[in-house]
Amino acid sequence: MSRDWSFDQDQVVAAVEEPKVLEGYDAHQNPLPPAWKSPILFLDFDGVLNSLEYWYGSGYSGIDLLNHTLSPYNVAVVNSIFERVPSCEIVLSTAWRFFGFYHEYIAEVLRDAGFKGNVIGDLGTIEEPFGIRGIAIQVWLVNNNCMDRNICILDDMHRSKFGWLNGYLVKTNIATGCTEKEADLAVAMLKGEGKDYGKPKRWEAKAKD
């Protein structure tokens, strides 16, 4: 039985940007290839690729916390995910996408930090009603026919922000960013391993219908 990915249309914007198949994360927009089967990592930045430890240890304070720097340590830890799951594709879910940055700028920041993941797009301007990022992720998956993919959400936001998709959340701590423990969990989820990973009870119930 196929999964039911229905969602409340009133809670999301009607017009959603097509995903971007990116080379260097540029501004071109194209539909995903029909045969695309890679696992998907929805990646946040702040609290994942950086941390309070890094900011304060680097001498940043106050408004400087918004200077959009990434921690080499946290980036290296996240890179280990891609080394173990080479086929993993990344969709950026970070709030950086709302700040008006050019894609080229984000690509430059990632490259400077040594990021090695394959970024194929972002959530674009899909809104997050009531701050629930899970709705935006669900809309992206539905619109791109990726409901059958192994997915992982790597984010420091509270589980309540992901609705029933919180079964796919590997929650990090903004104090430390992504650690090896969270990276191991993300790998298991992307591979579809572990009895508790990627199997929300809501889906299991629907599968019996």
Which residues 6+ apart lie within 8 Å of 143 measured at CB?
A: 16
Q: What is the mean pLDDT of the chain?
A: 75
Q: What are the tens digits of pLDDT across the range 137-166?
A: 988 898 888 888 899 999 999 988 888 788
CB 97 within 8 A of CB 67: no
Strand order in the sheet with 119-122: 119-122, 89-92, 40-43, 151-155, 169-171
| Helix, coil or strand: residue 124 | coil
pLDDT-derived band at 101 (thresholds 50, 70, 90) equals low
Q: Rounded distance, CA 41 to CA 33, Å?
A: 17
**pLDDT for the residue numbered 172:** 96
The domain tally of the chain equals: 1
Cα–Cα distance for residue pair 66/72, rounded to 1 Å: 17
8 located within any domain: no
Q: Does residue 187 contact residue 196 with C-beta atoms inside 8 Å?
A: no
Cα 43 to Cα 208: distance, rounded to the nearest angstrom: 31
CATH number of the domain at 147, please.
Answer: 3.40.50
**pLDDT tens by residue, 103-138:** 777 888 888 899 999 998 888 777 777 778 888 898
Say what the pTM is.
0.75
Structure tokens at 101: 């940055």
Which range has highest mean pLDDT (5-9, 29-33, 69-73)?
69-73
Domain that holds residue 183: 20-207
Q: Please report whether residue 100 resides in a domain.
A: yes
Q: Cβ–Cβ contacts within 10 Å for residue 133, how many?
A: 24
Residue 158 dihedral angles phi and psi, to the nearest 5°: -65, 150
CB atoms within 10 A of CB 108: 14
Alpha-carbon distance 54 to 177, whole Å? 9
- Looking from the CA of 53 toward its CB, the CA atoms found within 13 Å total 14
pLDDT at position 153 is 96
Distance between CA 170 and CA 141 in Å, rounded? 18
User: What pLDDT is stored for residue 199 in this prediction?
Assistant: 44
Which pairs count as long-range contacts for 29-35, CB under 8 Å and 24+ apart, including other chains? 31/144, 32/120, 32/144, 32/145, 32/146
In a domain? residue 139: yes
Measured over the CA atoms of residue 33, residue 142, residue 198 and residue 189, the dihedral's sign is positive
Better-scored residue on pLDDT, 193 or 43: 43
7 assigned to some structural domain: no
Spatial CB neighbours of 95, under 8 Å, sequence gap ≥ 6: 44, 45, 46
pLDDT value at position 40? Answer: 95
Instruction: Assess if residue 180 is contained within a domain.
Output: yes
Summarize pLDDT for 1-24 with one digit per residue, the tens.
333 434 343 433 332 333 333 344
In a domain, 136, yes or no: yes
Residue 45 has pLDDT above 50, yes or no: yes
